[in-house]
Amino acid sequence: DHVLTESEFVRQNDLRYPFEERGLQFGDGIYEVIRVYGGSYYLIKEHVERFYRSAEAVKIDVPYTKKELYEQLDQLLELNKVKGDAKVYLQMTRGSAPRDHAFPSETKANLYAYVKDLPRSKNAMLDGVTAITHPDVRWDWCYIKSLNLLPNVMAKQAAKEEGCYEAVLHKDGEVTECSSSNVYLVRGGKVYTHPAKKNILHGCVRMRIEEFCKDENIDFIEEAFRVEDFQYADEVFITSSTSEVMPVLKVDQQVIGNGRPGQLTRTLQKCYERDAG
Ligand code: PDD
């Protein structure tokens, strides 16, 4: 139960969050969720690079070099004696200062990171999941992995209330991504997904999916599709660091393809398995 804070490790119960924390008051911060398999990080470089990109985009000075951050993240796994499958949550806020929307003139970013066991969702990946559609009411800069997750939280809760796993977000019918994952439509052996523009998160697993498609000679087409297109889909799947490659069998009332996980999704699951293993 060691938590990393300000380049110092403390016990989880000794963690004290400062009064007037900008992460709490404004959601003024950024985060990453990094997967760990068998005690080792998966796609760590992609996550650390995105962490620094997010920080730069919101003008937070990360008070550590990338090398220092890598070392601290390794130490987090060591101290907690992580041997199995887990996830690391890493967060940085602009810091603590008297409440004012504008940046405080003198403040140091607050970092914290913890690790938690997370078994792989093997049954769900085998059987597939269902989803709802939900309007994407988020801002234009979703490529920044910011702490402002209220729209995502609302969408995921709406999915949960319908007994579904995810909410597919759309802007006027154009599908962007999901509340906490990227989404793909398969048709005629080709994979379609929203282009990595500023209005979606550039998923680390999404980057790998593009590579897997290249390796397998599958066309990876960065072209937005619409909610109506689900009726013509052969397969649909989502990806994220926690969901890996997850088949989606139904979106709202629309059954996808034959209602079972598709061949192409299975191929990409195998690619992931090899890559992460
Ligand atoms: N979410 N899109 C959104 C909105 C996300 O929140 C996530 C990840 C992804 C997938 O990104 P990646 O492949 O890098 O995990 C896409 C994490 C898991 C979370 O918030 O818990």
What's the pLDDT tens digit per position in 138-161? 999 999 999 999 999 999 999 999
Q: Which CATH superfamily is domain 122-276 in?
A: D-amino Acid Aminotransferase, subunit A, domain 2 (3.20.10.10)
What's the pLDDT tens digit per position in 72-116? 999 999 999 999 999 999 999 999 999 999 999 988 899 999 999
> Residue 43: is its pLDDT beyond 90?
yes
> Residue 12: is its pLDDT beyond 90?
no
Q: Is 46 in the pocket of ligand 1 (CB under 6 A)?
A: no
CATH numeric code, 2-117: 3.30.470.10
pLDDT of residue 5: 86
Q: Is 242 in the pocket of ligand 1 (CB under 6 A)?
A: yes
> Residue 171: is its pLDDT beyond 80?
yes
pLDDT mean across residues, the chain: 96
Measured in Å, residue 116 CA sits from the centre of ligand 1 at 17
From CA 30, how far away is CA 115, in angstroms rounded? 17
Q: Is 54 in the pocket of ligand 1 (CB under 6 A)?
A: no
What's the pLDDT tens digit per position in 175-221? 999 999 999 999 999 999 999 999 999 999 999 999 999 999 999 99
Residue 125 CA to its chain's centroid (Å): 17
Q: Is 121 in the pocket of ligand 1 (CB under 6 A)?
A: no
pTM over 0.90: yes
Helix (H), strand (E) at residue 159: helix 150-161
Q: Is 206 in the pocket of ligand 1 (CB under 6 A)?
A: yes
The residue ranges of every structural domain in the chain are 2-117, 122-276
pLDDT of residue 14: 85
The preferred substitution site among 35, 140, 201 for testing ligand 1, maximizing ligand atoms within 8 Å of CB, is: 201
Helix (H), strand (E) at residue 12: none
* Ligand 1 atom index nearest CA of 242: 18
| Three-state SS letters, 28-42 | CEEEEEEEEECCEEE
Q: Whose CA is nearest to atom 4 of ligand 1?
A: 180
Measured in Å, residue 204 CA sits from the centre of ligand 1 at 8
Place of tokens 């690079």: 49
Q: What is the DSSP string of 31-74?
A: EEEEEEETTEEESHHHHHHHHHHHHHHTT---SS-HHHHHHHHH
